[in-house]
Structure formats: structure tokens, C-alpha cells
Amino acid sequence: MNLLKSTEKSKMEKKQEGFSQLAITLLNHYDGAYYVDINTGEYTALVPLKGLKKLNAPYTGDDFYTDSVKILSKCVHSNDLENIKKASDKNTILEALSEGDVYANIFRIIINENVIHMKRSLFLCPDRAHAICCFENIEEDFIKKETQKKNL
């Protein structure tokens, strides 16, 4: 009987290790990731925004929606600012996530006088009460696509 419990425990530990490795691998792909309670707005950084350290983005907070706009307003390109403000509205996000499990926006930020294309994706968790918000630097992809367009 104890051998059975030990074997089950070992399988559970391996499964948990696999999930941990999966999470770490995925999160390392992004430039920032947050775990968000989509109803209350409470959030915690899983991976702090790498390129935006100078902006003093908080690791945790009570209002993801308002804090997102505050932080992004400091660095989003002026031509994209109104769109990202609208896209960061709580009702807009909740409605989008009720229609699909992913909500994404592309915008430009300015860091050290360089324009960088970013993608923010919110992935709805299976409990449908939380989301993982990931920020990805897509500048290299953007440049490749622009180069391909020129060469066609």
C-alpha cells in the first residue's frame, strides 16, 4: 500500500515538475508577464517588464487596468496611446475574453529614443477568473515582415 502511494506521489511530483518547466519556458519567451484577477484587477508580476525597469512598474497591485494605462502612458508612442488606453479598459478586456480565450494588442513603445513594436496578450486561465498578461517585443518580427514586403 505504501509503495502505491509512493509511486503516485512520484508521478505527481514529475507532473508538477513538467508544469513548472513549461511555465518557466513560456515565461522566458516574454519580456514581461503578469497574473491578473480579471474581476478585481489585482495582479502580480510573474516576469517583471524587462525593458521598462526605468518606469518603476509595480510587481503587485490592486488595479491592473488603471496601472497598465499609467505605466504604458509613459512609454507608448503618441500615435498608439489612445488605442492602447481603450484596449486596456476593464470592460473592453472582459468582453474580449468572454468571446475568446486570448485578447491581444500591438503597439509601439519608445525606450531610449528607440521605437519598439510590442504585443500584449491576455490569456484567459481555465478558471475564467484569471488571465496571464504577457508582453512580447516583436520588433525583429516586424522588421522581417517589412523587409519581405519591400522584396516582393
Q: At a CB cut-off of 8 Å and minimum separation 6, what does 29 contact?
A: 136
Amino acid 151: pLDDT: 85
Beta strands 60-61 and 114-124, pairing class:
unpaired
Write the CA distances from 94 to 41, 63, 135, 148, integer angstroms.
Answer: 11, 14, 18, 36
Q: At a CB cut-off of 8 Å and minimum separation 6, what does 58 contact?
A: 45, 67
pLDDT digits (tens, 9 = 90+) for 60-113: 999 999 999 999 999 999 999 999 999 999 999 999 999 999 999 999 999 888
Are residues 31 and 51 in contact, defined by beta-carbon separation less than 8 angstroms?
Answer: yes
With bands split at pLDDT 50, 70 and 90, how would you rate the model's confidence at 26? confident
Is the pTM above the cut of 0.75? yes
Report the mean per-residue pLDDT for the chain: 87
Q: Is pLDDT of 9 > 70?
A: no
pLDDT digits (tens, 9 = 90+) for 30-39: 888 899 999 9
H helices of 30-118, where?
A: 64-73, 81-87, 90-99
Are residues 46 and 27 in contact, defined by beta-carbon separation less than 8 angstroms?
Answer: yes
Q: What residue type is assigned to position 88 of the chain? A: S
The CA radius of gyration of the chain, in Å to the nearest whole number, is 19
CA atoms within 13 A on the CB side of 23: 12
Name the residue with higher pLDDT: 1 or 48.
48
Q: Is pLDDT of 56 > 90?
A: no
Are residues 31 and 37 in contact, defined by beta-carbon separation less than 8 angstroms?
Answer: no
Distance CA 61, CA 41 (A): 8
106 forms bridges with which residues in the sheet? 119
- Grid cell at residue 49: 517588464
